[in-house]
């Protein structure tokens, strides 16, 4: 497995593993024993960055990851997130965000217990809290870093100005936001800012929440609890209209002797050397397929052709429901 650097000194595998889907988001939770084995197999294959959050479950995903990684804790980097209004005793979710400094510190202690560790390698603010100045958030994390509980600070779905203000208080190691051939919004402002400040980028949904794998079409039925049922871009009409992008990726994949998923991930890896995608899966064969992307080399000509062809496409549908979109880019 190739290695990459986030920020100044967080070295991780070029592809991480997003663990959310094992517990929530894409339907019922997967079998715990099978997921523990999958996580450990990912490490055996070279993955060193594992991504979770208190909100996934809530709590269930951190507990799963803590148990799976306990025997190899010193060989991996764990990223988790704070920032939603979640009762630390019951797991009941409130209606919004909560990044008050006292709450951040309480969440950190609770995360440490669930993850069975004495430190968190990368601690992200899950969504920007409009009621708490980002300087106070960064200051709270800075204190946790000085105590040794946290190693690196990250933001998720934050905007340019917020990143700059936070970075001035406590250097940010990584930003996590959606980025893929299915959603290229970060290219306009985020990527130049991250490059300027020396901040790494960790794209979630690098396969377009599965759409870029070529296994989804307008007739696909999702589990009733799958979040994609609420996403405008995943309406049957939008899926049908957006299949032109999948056809483009499939054509490149056939030419390269790869799968569409591998091409989509290879495209991301080719954008910047400080980009580390975190595709998620609950299936071993998909894990193997995704990790194979590091061996798919897209030439300058390949990338140019992809850009030119994709720029002519007009993708239909918003990437998130309206309420969720309002919590991004702040």
Query: What are all long-range contacts of 59-62, with beta carbons under 8 Å and residues at least 24 apart?
Result: 59/91, 59/114, 60/23, 60/24, 60/29, 61/19, 61/20, 61/22, 61/23, 61/24, 62/111, 62/114, 62/115
Q: How far is CA 88 from CA 11, 19, 114, 115, in A?
A: 31, 21, 12, 15
Which among 26, 56, 124, 179 is annotated as catalytic?
56
Quick check: 39 and 69 in contact, CB under 8 A? yes
- Those residues with Cβ within 8 angstroms of residue 155's Cβ, 6 or more apart along the chain or in another chain: 124, 125, 128, 162, 163, 166, 172, 175, 176
- State both tokens at 93: 């979710």
Quick check: 252 and 286 in contact, CB under 8 A? no
- State both tokens at 135: 């300087």
26 is an active site residue = no
Alpha helices in 96-159 (DSSP H): 101-114, 134-146
- State both tokens at 317: 């549908």
Rounded to the nearest 5°, which phi and psi values hold at 329? 70, 20
Quick check: 243 and 252 in contact, CB under 8 A? no
Among all chains, which residue has been given the structure tokens 């975190």? 278
Q: How far is CA 122 from CA 41, 149, 227, 249, 265, in A?
A: 22, 10, 26, 32, 22
CA 303 to CA 308: how far, in whole Å?
A: 9
Q: What residues are annotated to the active site? A: 56
């Amino acid at each position: 497995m190739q290695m990459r650097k986030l920020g100044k000194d967080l070295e991780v595998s070029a592809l991480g593993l997003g663990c959310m889907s094992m517990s929530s988001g894409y339907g019922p939770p997967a079998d715990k024993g099978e997921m523990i084995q999958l996580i450990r197999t990912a490490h055996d294959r070279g993955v060193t960055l594992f991504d979770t959050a208190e909100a996934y479950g809530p709590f269930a995903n951190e507990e799963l990851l803590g148990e799976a990684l306990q025997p190899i804790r010193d060989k991996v980097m764990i990223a988790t997130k704070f920032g939603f209004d979640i009762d630390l005793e019951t797991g009941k979710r409130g209606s919004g965000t909560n990044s008050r400094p006292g709450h951040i510190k309480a969440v950190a202690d609770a995360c440490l217990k669930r993850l069975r560790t004495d430190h968190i390698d990368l601690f992200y603010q899950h969504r920007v809290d409009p009621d708490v100045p980002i300087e106070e958030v960064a200051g709270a994390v800075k204190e946790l870093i000085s105590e040794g509980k946290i190693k690196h600070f990250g933001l998720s779905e934050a905007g340019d100005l917020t990143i700059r203000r936070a970075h001035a208080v406590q250097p940010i190691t990584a930003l996590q936001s959606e980025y893929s051939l299915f959603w290229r919004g970060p290219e306009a402002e985020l990527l130049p800012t991250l490059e300027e400040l020396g901040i790494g980028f960790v794209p979630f949904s690098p396969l377009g929440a599965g759409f870029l794998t070529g296994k989804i079409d307008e007739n696909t039925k999702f589990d009733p609890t799958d979040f994609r049922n609420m996403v405008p871009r995943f309406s049957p009409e939008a899926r049908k209209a957006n299949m032109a992008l999948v056809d483009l990726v499939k054509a490149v994949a056939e030419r390269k002797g790869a799968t569409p998923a591998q091409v989509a991930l290879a495209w991301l890896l080719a954008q910047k050397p400080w980009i580390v995608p975190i595709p998620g899966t609950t299936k071993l064969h998909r894990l193997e397929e995704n990790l194979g992307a590091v061996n798919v080399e897209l030439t300058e000509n390949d990338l140019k052709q992809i850009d030119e062809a994709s720029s002519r496409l007009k993708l239909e549908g918003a990437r998130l429901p309206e309420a969720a979109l309002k919590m991004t880019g702040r």
